[in-house]
């Protein structure tokens, strides 16, 4: 059963088309990974879905109800973890949860119980009375998540919840997502980390320039480019001219540089392994060569022409 149904959504910022006729359904119980390069429209899509920003045309249904006329009712059942940390820095972790629980109508014993449960769930029980300014980046992220969970939403939306944090906090957050999903929560989250999507998501949607350009399970997406292969060529001196020559080969879809390794996505059977080798030889020593099946990262690269980037590396 679909709990989210978005049809033909258009959102403009001035003359810029941030969402260009987007269709998206989300089934109950899914963990949907939303991928896309910077500025693809992921945050805009999430904000339109959660009713944080309006949209110009199209239709959104959540839990079977038309979103714009049932917004308050829908919002009560959604948890939104924003891309920027939005906790109060002058309130302790506990007080932050009191505030957010209060917004959702929790009070008294029930509120207290939920705060204790939520703090334990994100591993912040011992830090309940501290100010977030005393927290590490990972702890702040976990508190940010807790604020969206205190009212036990059926549907949790997370916008890059694991950006810029230590591996331990990151694993903790991923484990949190898994457990919530096992308890029945439907999850939509955006990330730039391909391995997270590969490990966690039951379905992947890739966006670029306000469009959904791919939608399916990981095997389905990889199958789409199954007739392609990835040739890896490690060379002594990768030059722009060499990359340009490789790009001009017939059947080559994508050429990218990773350190000294050139990755070529090419049609299977186009004979490009031999051709690439002979071209590269003219440019200097070849250290190694291999050909393999494409991965999800290659699907992304082939469809968007861009590599996912880690914010920490920017
Ligand atoms: N409030 C705004 N006013 C004007 N333009 C905006 C606004 N918010 C977003 N945009 C533009 O809309 C496009 C989509 O932005 P959005 O933040 O949705 O992308 P994103 O996929 O979330 O990117 P990122 O990976 O960097 O978070 C971008 O070109 C952005 O500059
Ligand atoms: Mg964003």
The pLDDT tens digits for 230-247 are: 899 999 989 999 999 999
225 band by pLDDT with thresholds 50, 70 and 90: confident
CA of 40, closest atom in ligand 1: 21
Give the mean pLDDT of 248-265: 92
Give the mean pLDDT of 213-236: 86
Q: Is the CB of 206 under 6 A from ligand 1?
A: no
Give the mean pLDDT of 54-76: 94
pLDDT at 125: 96
Q: 13 or 225: which carries more pLDDT confidence?
A: 13
The pLDDT tens digits for 20-43 are: 999 999 999 999 999 998 899 999
pLDDT at 193: 83
> What proportion of the chain, given as a percentage, has pLDDT over 70?
97
Give the mean pLDDT of 173-198: 90
pLDDT at 197: 86
Cα–Cα distance measured from residue 216 to residue 222, given in angstroms and rounded to the nearest whole number: 9
289 and 278 in contact (C-beta within 8 Å)? no
pLDDT at 309: 57
180 and 148 in contact (C-beta within 8 Å)? no
Task: Judge whether residue 307 has pLDDT over 70.
Answer: no
Give the mean pLDDT of 174-202: 90
Residue 9: beta bridge partners? 22
The total number of residues written for the chain in this structure: 314
313 band by pLDDT with thresholds 50, 70 and 90: very low
Q: Is the CB of 43 under 6 A from ligand 1?
A: yes
Output the residue whose Cα is nearest ligand 1's atom 17. Answer: 43
Distance 289 CA to ligand 2 centre (A): 37
Q: Where are the alpha helices (DSSP H) in the chain?
A: 42-50, 71-76, 93-103, 108-121, 137-149, 167-182, 194-200, 218-224, 240-247, 272-281, 296-304
Task: Judge whether residue 311 has pLDDT over 50.
Answer: no
For the chain, list the domains and their CATH numbers.
2-221 (3.40.50.300), 227-307 (3.30.70.100)
Output the residue whose Cα is nearest ligand 1's atom 7. Answer: 13
């Amino acid at each position: 059963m679909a709990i989210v149904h978005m049809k033909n959504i258009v959102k403009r910022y001035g003359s810029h088309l941030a969402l260009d006729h987007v269709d998206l359904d989300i089934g109950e119980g899914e963990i949907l990974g939303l991928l896309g390069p910077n500025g693809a429209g992921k945050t805009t899509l999430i904000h339109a879905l959660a009713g944080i920003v309006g949209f110009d045309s199209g239709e959104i249904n959540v839990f079977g109800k038309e979103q714009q006329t049932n917004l308050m009712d829908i919002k009560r059942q959604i948890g939104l973890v924003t891309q920027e940390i939005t906790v109060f820095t002058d309130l302790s972790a506990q007080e932050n949860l009191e505030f957010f629980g209060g917004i959702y109508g929790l009070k008294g014993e029930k509120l207290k119980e939920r705060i204790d449960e939520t703090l334990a769930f994100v591993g912040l029980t011992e830090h309940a009375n501290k100010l977030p300014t005393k927290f590490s980046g990972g702890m702040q992220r976990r508190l940010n998540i807790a604020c969206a969970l205190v009212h036990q939403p059926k549907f949790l939306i997370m916008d890059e919840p694991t950006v810029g944090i230590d591996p331990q906090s990151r694993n903790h957050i991923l484990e949190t997502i898994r457990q919530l999903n096992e308890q029945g929560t439907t999850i939509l989250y955006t990330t730039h980390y391909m391995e997270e999507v590969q490990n966690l998501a039951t379905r992947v949607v890739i966006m670029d320039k306000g469009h959904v350009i791919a939608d399916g399970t990981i095997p389905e997406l990889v199958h789409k480019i199954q007739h392609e292969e990835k040739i890896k060529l490690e060379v002594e001196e990768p030059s722009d001219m060499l990359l340009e020559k490789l790009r001009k080969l017939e059947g080559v879809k994508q050429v990218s540089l990773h350190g000294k390794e050139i990755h070529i996505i090419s049609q299977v059977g186009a004979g490009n392994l031999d051709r690439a080798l002979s071209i590269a030889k003219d440019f200097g020593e070849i250290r190694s060569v291999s050909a393999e099946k494409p991965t999800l990262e290659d699907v992304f690269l082939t469809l968007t022409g861009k590599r996912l980037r880690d914010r920490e590396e920017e």
